[in-house]
């Protein structure tokens, strides 16, 4: 197995773990209430817990999609769009609730670059046009 394939598989696993851990522990199980507070700030208090759990479930499903390997380029693009949108909204609506404040955008950009590189640069499978 080529080094790029091994690195791609490792990064795929790590990317899925980011989605799983954030979705399951931070949001579905509400172990990091800051996430619920961010949702409340943006969408209102009344359904913040329910909406946070729905977002968490979506993130768990994103982890499953990453691991499944189905339509990997679409999956990567979906991740990039979701991370960019989530972080842009949080940047303007709830920067005081973010772990690193507005610097969270730097971490989001790094994650986006990892997702992009992993799928579009490292994943060189036959049949994928460049």
In SS3 terms, 60-109 reads as HHHHHHHHHCCCHHHHHHHHHHHHHHHHHHHHHHCHHHCCCHHHHHHHHH
pTM of the entire predicted model: 0.92
Give me the pLDDT at residue 67, please.
98
pLDDT tens-digit map of 57-110: 999 999 999 999 999 999 999 999 999 999 999 999 999 999 999 999 999 999
Give me the pLDDT at residue 128, please.
52
Name residues whose C-beta falls within 8 Å of residue 42's C-beta, 6 or more positions apart in sequence. 89, 90, 93, 94
Residue 129 above 90 pLDDT? Answer: no
Residue 126 above 60 pLDDT? Answer: no
CA distances from 3 to 42, 68, 125 (A): 43, 21, 13
CA 98 to chain CA centroid, Å, is: 15
Domain assignments of the chain as residue spans, ordered by start? 3-122
Residue 130's pLDDT band (cuts 50, 70, 90): very low
Name residues whose C-beta falls within 8 Å of residue 91's C-beta, 6 or more positions apart in sequence. 98, 102, 104, 105
pLDDT tens-digit map of 8-51: 999 999 999 999 999 999 999 999 999 999 999 999 999 999 99
């Amino acid at each position: 197995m080529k080094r790029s394939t091994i690195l791609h598989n490792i990064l795929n696993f790590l990317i899925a773990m980011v989605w799983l851990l954030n979705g399951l522990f931070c949001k579905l199980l509400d172990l990091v209430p800051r996430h619920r507070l961010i949702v409340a700030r943006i969408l209102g208090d009344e359904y913040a817990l329910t909406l946070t759990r729905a977002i968490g479930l979506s993130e768990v499903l994103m982890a499953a999609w990453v691991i499944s390997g189905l339509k990997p380029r679409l999956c990567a693009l979906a991740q990039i769009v979701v991370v960019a949108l989530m972080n842009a909204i949080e940047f303007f609506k709830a920067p005081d609730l973010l772990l690193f404040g507005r610097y969270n955008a730097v971490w989001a950009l790094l994650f986006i670059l990892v997702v992009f590189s992993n799928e579009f640069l490292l994943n060189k499978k036959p049949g994928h046009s460049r």
